[in-house]
Structure 1
Amino acid sequence: MEHVPEDRHIFYQVLTRKITMLIVIVSFFPMLLTTGILFSRFNGAYADKVRAHISELVQKHTQNIDTFLAEKTGNIRFMAQNFNPRQQSAEAFLKQNLALLKKEYGDVFTDVGLVDDKGIQFAYEGPFNLKNADYSSAQWFLMAQDQSVYISDVFAGLRGHPHFIIAVHLQGQDSHYILRSTINFGAFNSLVENIHLGKTGMAFIVNARGSLQTQTHVDLLPEVIQSVPKPKDFNDKATVFIKKEDNTGREYVCVAAMFKNIDWMMVFHQDLDDAFRDLQSTKWLTLSIFTLGCIAIVFVAFALPRNIVHLLSSADKKSEVMNRQVVESGKLATIGELAAGIAHEINNPVAIMVEEAGWIEDLLEEEDLKQCENLDEFTRALRQINTQGRRCKEITHKLLSFARKTDSTINDVQVNDSIREIVSLTGQMARYNNVIIETRLNEGIPYIRISPSELQQVILNLINNAIDAMEKTGGTISIETKISHIENKHLVIVIQDNGPGIPRDNLARIFDPFFTTKPVGKGTGLGLSICYGIIEKMNGKIDVQSEVGAGTKFRIWIPFQEIEEQTT
């Protein structure tokens, strides 16, 4: 892994922390605020809805029982108004009317009886033997003396099980009577309990003193009964809603409503958790979603900054590489200009030397120096000066051709001549690195129309890469040209070395821009990418085959035209 400077490493750490904190603050605060506000609003609205629903349910149930009591009281009053002891005996009257009531209402009315002003029931119709029963000391009898209609509290009485009485006071000419009827407690109790809400919701009735007037399917704690609202708590309100906690720590709600026809109170009792069960489910769902959101934010807050900083670090590294490449390119351009200037400067004196050597040779032929002992030596030296001068001119000419900007002019190029020229230029560097360059050039290959300088650039780059790969161990580079038997009308250039080879993981990337395995400052990573682009522009192809320890082979396919096609 490439070493990161300490100051950049600290900068990346600080940047990571700042981005993480920013993501957490920007994400958490709005989500927390929005969730809190929405849940608070929902909690209040839902609580109001539950209270309103229970209150409405209790109020309607109270009205139903009020209607029930009013209807039954009306039945007894109607029955009392029709009693005439002169026309019909009391027993017959009671028997006939009880039968009619049972026919109409079933078992709601248990029995009926007539009680005189002394509290003696002188006439009775019903399942019990209560004729001549003495009610003179009964609470209901004493209360009914002063009221036209009276509904008693629930009590056990003479029969030994709960019941309550509806009594109607009858005023005669010589005496007064009380027509009483016992209401079936089981029917009345089931009517009270006929309210279903949740698992623990139940209704019961208490009187003004807080005594139960109905039976419940569970035993209510005394403090629950004592905590029900008092009549003074209503203040013209239809219902009263209270929330309490029993001695076991369990919270519950009570909703109460007063009856109109009797001093009783309808009370609905339910555990708080049961009453707000859906709200609790919503709370857990909200908490779960909030937790998942927090986990996602934390994950993003830690993963995203690392990814951003990693990309930034990679961009910085690429920028540094590009800067170095620009510097290297600048150096190469400067060296090229310097080489071109030097080549021009050398060309002038070399041309003069060659011309002067030719002039001296002409003078020697004109003078009579045949008897000179050193004439042959003079002639050999002049020929050597001419030969070396032309060689210098050829070298500077090649140097100029590579130093100047790429010439993209398309010409008919003999590939073998270009390869020989490049091999002669790189020969000295190859010998210095103990590398031997071998050529197997097929002389029958045709000319191709390409840019000569671009072809030279490709071949020179591949040779230089091979020499660089074998600079420590030496080796052999073989260059071959031939006609392709695979691709029709394509010329093939094969450049192969027996160097260390290219690892398999790098083979797919060697033509990528800026990819290099050379040390920093030695390779730009652009050479093979440029070669690939040049060959593609020629409508050709280039591929590579390599094996670690065995060497590397590049193959270049370049299309050509037949001679007949070129001449037409």
Structure 2
Amino acid sequence: MAGSKIEQKPFYQILKRKITILILVVSFFPMILTTGIIFYRFNRTYTAKIAAHISELVQKHTQNIDTFLLEKLGNIRYLARHIENTETLPTDFLRHQLELLKTEYKDVFTDLGLVDENGIQFAYEGPFRLENADYSRADWFKKAREKSFYISDVFAGLRGHPHFIIAVKIRSKGSEGLLRATINFTAFNSLVENIHIGKTGMAFIINSQGQLQTQTDLRIDPSIMASMASREGYKDHKTMFSRKQDLSGENYLYVTSMLENIDWLMVYRQNVKDAFRDLWKTQVLALGLFAIGCIAILSVAFTLPRNIVALILQADKKSEVMNKQVVESGKLATIGELAAGIAHEINNPVAIMVEEAGWIEDLLEDEDLKGSKNWDEFKRALKQINTQGRRCKEITHKLLSFARKTDSTVNDVQVNDSITEIVSLTAQMAKYNNVTIETDLNQGIPYIRISPSELQQVILNLINNAIDAMEKTGGTIKIETKVSKLEKNNVVISISDDGPGIPKNNLTRIFDPFFTTKAVGKGTGLGLSICYGIIQKMGGKIDVHSQVGTGSRFRIWIPFQTAEIDPATQGS
């Protein structure tokens, strides 16, 4: 096939590849650049938003704990000022004040105690038996004596369960001592436990040694807590962010903030996957949309060039067909000119031969040769020369007439006359191939304004095809003309034969350019294609009906101007 050969040309492969590359570059470069910038900016914005949200939350809870401790420190300081001026017994004073504190704060304060300068608790009010308890060796007692007030780390102490102490210096009867209050660890711990974000976000407090000061269910690597205990970097930042990996290999986000009234750190920890879950969902969605866009671009990049190249191929095929038709038309024109020249050159000597034969006949009449035994033979020969000479002259006249009509000038044409002329021109070739041409030309067929040479070319081509099909077996070609009843204002020309017929598979392609079933060198495959194009240009149509072993029939419909039509001329 010519189409497959064209498709195999490197030019079209290179063209398709270049168009594909151009589409990919023009589409992917801005798409990747834009997506990358948006992705990067969105990631930074969302990360900053998450950091700001967590930072604000941690700072808020840090302030709440600071406020809690400052309020309780204020309560103890207030009691310390009053105990210095009261005449009430210390034990009664502590009992009364503890009742007031429990009324106001419920279980926040566990007990109260007075400790002398030697570390002996000489007055106590609370649920434990801690009268005369010796705190002289306690770490909190040593540190409390050096400051006006002191808030201890969480420790078990003498009572055996976690608690921490708020101690304030007092002066009574010329000696210094401490007023100490135990803060309920459960109440304090609940303040921190209430900090939750997502599924894994929880908070806890550590001291300067990295030790937990609140209860937590989290399993935290001690080395991580020790690394966070450093107080460097908090002068300019209220909170600090870090990402650390624990022993299980999970990555966690840590946010720390320092408390003001005690050397403790509020620590917030959340799994990175949990913290940025919404961000990653958005990123996955964006990547999904990006992938869909890539698939769409790829489909267009590999489909569009194929379609474009297919259109170019189709245009090139049509151009190639037209070029070949032009070449063939040029060949036909050249052949027509050559035939006209040959016919003209033959016509002159034939005319001389006929004239000379007439002259000889006249001479024979003048001479007294009637008695010759060859007189009849002379007469017969001279008659045959005249007959065949006139026939040659008629043939050359028709050939000249046909050659002169190779242009496409439009004239009023009588279809029957054109058919008669073509039949007489092809009669000898038909006779040579044992083919008989019969005509049934209805009189009264109207004139049709078309190109005479083009109509003759169509009819001649169809007759020649029929003769070629029956060259081995012989047969009959029947040509009919009628005015169509089905197609209004159309003349129908029917050319049928009883030859071998056309296979069904070939009927759909019979008008395709270059399609031929003839042997190599006997046909170009353009004849019927040219006929089809000529009839289409005339505004008519052509069809074919054929059956193998029965024959073929071509019908041509050509429109004409409305006029009075004889009903006897009408047919299908």
Output the TM-score relative to the length of structure 1.
0.82
Alpha-carbon displacement from aligned partner over 1:350-405 (angstroms, at most 9, x marks no partner): 33333444455556667776556555444444433332222112211221232232
The amino acid across from 1:461 in the alignment is N
Alpha-carbon distance in structure 2 between the residues aligned to 1:97 and 1:468? 133
Distance 1:369 1:519, change over 3 A: closer
**Where in structure 2 are the equivalents of 1:451-490 lying within 5 Å?**
451=450, 452-471=452-471, 474-488=474-488, 490=490
Does the 8 Å CA contact 1:470/1:500 hold for their aligned counterparts? yes
Letter in 2 for 1:411: D
Distance 1:182 1:366 in 2: 172
Equivalence for 2:438: 439
After TM superposition, give the deviation of residue 171 of structure 1 in Å.
Answer: 2.3
Go from structure 1 to structure 2 and tell me whether the alpha carbon gap of 1:69 and 1:464 turns closer, same or farther (over 3 Å shift): farther
Per the alignment, residue 398 of structure 1 pairs with 398
- What residue is the counterpart of 1:256 in the other structure? 256
State the partner residue of 2:570: none
Tell me the CA shift for residue 142 of structure 1: 3.1
Taking a change above 3 Å as real, the CA distance of residues 12 and 68 of structure 1, as seen in their structure-2 partners, is: same
Residue identity opposite 1:395 in structure 2: I
User: How much has 1:220 moved relative to structure 2?
Assistant: 1.8
Provide the C-alpha distance between the structure 2 equivalents of 1:108 and 1:11, rounded to a whole number of angstroms. Answer: 90
Q: Call closer, same or farther: CA 1:312–1:424 in 2, change over 3 Å.
A: same
2:418 corresponding residue in structure 1: 418
In 1, Cα distance between equivalents of 2:470 and 2:425: 18
Q: CA deviation at 1:466?
A: 2.7
User: Could you list the runs of 5+ residues in structure 1 that have no partner in the other structure?
Assistant: none
2:71: which partner in 1? 71
Distance 1:78 1:521, change over 3 A: farther
Deviation at 1:530, TM superposition (A): 4.1
Instruction: Give the CA deviation at 1:256.
Output: 1.8
- Equivalent residue of 1:232, what SS? coil
Q: Deviations over 1:198-248 (max 9, x none)?
A: 432222111112211111122222222222140134354322323333344
User: Where does residue 234 of structure 1 map in the other structure?
Assistant: 234
Q: Tell me if structure 2 keeps the 8 A contact 1:450–1:538.
A: no
Contact 1:109 1:184 in 2 (8 A): yes
Task: Give structure 2 stretches of 5+ with no counterpart.
Answer: 568-572
Residue of structure 2 in register with 1:178 after alignment = 178
- Give the equivalent residue in structure 1 for 2:270: 270
**Distance of aligned partners of 1:306 and 1:446 in 2 relative to their CA distance in 1, 3 Å threshold:** closer
Q: How many residues align?
A: 563
Deviations 1:462-483 (A, max 9, x none): 2223334445665543323344
- Looking at structure 1, the residues matched to 488 and 91 of structure 2 have their Cα atoms a distance apart, in angstroms, of 131
1:51 Cα deviation after fit: 4.1
Q: 1:204·1:213 contact (CA, 8 Å) conserved in 2?
A: yes
Quote the offset at 1:490 in angstroms.
4.3
Does the C-alpha gap of structure 1 residues 226 and 127 become closer, same or farther in structure 2, counting only changes over 3 Å? same
1:562 corresponding residue in structure 2: 564
- Secondary structure, counterpart of 1:142 in structure 2: helix
CA distance in 1, matches of 2:455, 2:89: 140
Aligned-CA RMSD value: 4.0
Write the mapping of 1:101-500 to structure 2, written as runs, cut at 5 A.
101-281=101-281, 284-285=284-285, 322-361=322-361, 371=371, 374-404=374-404, 405-406=406-407, 408-411=409-412, 413=414, 415-432=415-432, 434=433, 436-451=435-450, 452-471=452-471, 474-488=474-488, 490-500=490-500
Secondary structure of the residue aligned to 1:495 is strand
Kept in 2: contact 1:243–1:253 (CA 8 A): yes
Is contact 1:445-1:483 (8 Å) kept? no
Question: Hey, what's the Cα distance between the residues in 1 that align with 2:294 and 2:409?
Answer: 61
Alpha carbons of 1:360 and 1:562: their partners in 2 closer, same or farther (altered >3 Å)?
farther
State whether residues 435 and 467 of structure 2, in contact with CA within 8 Å, keep that contact through their aligned partners in structure 1.
no
Amino acid in the other structure paired with 2:449: I
Distance 1:366 1:474 in 2: 49
3-state SS of the aligned residue for 2:191? helix
> 214-223 or 55-64, which moves further after superposition?
55-64
What SS does the corresponding residue of 2:228 show, helix, strand or coil?
coil
Deviates more, 1:465-474 or 1:212-221: 465-474
Residue 459 to residue 181, structure 1, CA distance change in 2 (3 Å): same
1:290 offset after TM fit, Å?
A: 5.8
The CA distance in 1 between the partners of 2:293 and 2:343, in whole Å, is: 72
Secondary structure of the structure 2 residue equivalent to 1:67: helix
